């Protein structure tokens, strides 16, 4: 008859089969915990990447909007400058037209006065020379000049 071994200091010797099952359970629990932790880390990393992507998209969008605004401002600036240039040109043309009208009026008055006083018909004055020059060049009516200038302004707006 065999005498059973008494554990040292009343320690119970673990059953090897129970020990293996407990180890397997503990390993499965540890594996499950590690898997959950890995999933949580992946979720957090995904959230961080998504946040970063959204932030970059927002930056790109704001940069694009800023560039569009700058481009619009630049186009508006060029248009305004062109309009101002055209308005200056139109005002110069209008001044020229009014000068030419005045010269024509003066020339007509001179012609009428010469017709009345036939003694001075042979005398040539500068206004008469200008009148002949304008007719020789095919002088356009002032209204035509104004129409052309307004058409140029309309084309610049488009």
Q: Tell me how far apart the alpha carbons of residues 8 and 135 are, in angstroms, rounded to a whole number.
A: 137
Domain annotation covers residue 104: yes
Domain annotation covers residue 119: yes
Crossing angle of helices 142-157 and 16-116, rounded to 10°? 180
Domain annotation covers residue 9: no
Domain annotation covers residue 65: yes
Domain annotation covers residue 3: no
Range of the domain at 67: 16-157
Task: Please tell me the total count of domains within the chain.
Answer: 1
Domain annotation covers residue 5: no
Domain annotation covers residue 98: yes
Read off the pLDDT of residues 61-82 as tens digits, 9 standing for 90 and up.
888 898 888 888 888 888 888 8
Confidence of residue 110 (pLDDT cuts 50, 70, 90): confident
Asked whether 101 and 108 are in contact (CB, 8 A), the reply is: no
Q: Report which of residues 38 and 1 the model is more confident about.
A: 38
Q: Tell me how far apart the alpha carbons of residues 59 and 98 are, in angstroms, rounded to a whole number.
A: 57
């Amino acid at each position: 008859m065999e005498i059973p071994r008494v554990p040292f200091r009343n320690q119970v010797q673990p059953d090897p089969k129970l020990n293996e099952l407990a180890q397997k359970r503990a390993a499965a629990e540890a594996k499950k915990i590690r898997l959950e932790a890995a999933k949580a880390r992946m979720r957090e990393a995904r959230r961080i990447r998504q946040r970063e992507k959204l932030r970059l998209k927002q930056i790109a969008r704001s940069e694009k909007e800023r560039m569009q605004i700058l481009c619009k401002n630049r186009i508006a600036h060029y248009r305004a400058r062109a309009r101002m240039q055209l308005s200056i040109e139109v005002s110069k043309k209008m001044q020229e037209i009014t000068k030419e009208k005045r010269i024509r009026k003066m020339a007509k008055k001179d012609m009428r006065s010469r017709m009345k006083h036939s003694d001075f018909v042979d005398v040539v004055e500068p206004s008469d020379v200008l009148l002949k020059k304008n007719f020789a060049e095919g002088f356009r009516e002032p209204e035509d000049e104004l129409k052309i200038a307004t058409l140029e302004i309309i084309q610049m707006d488009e």
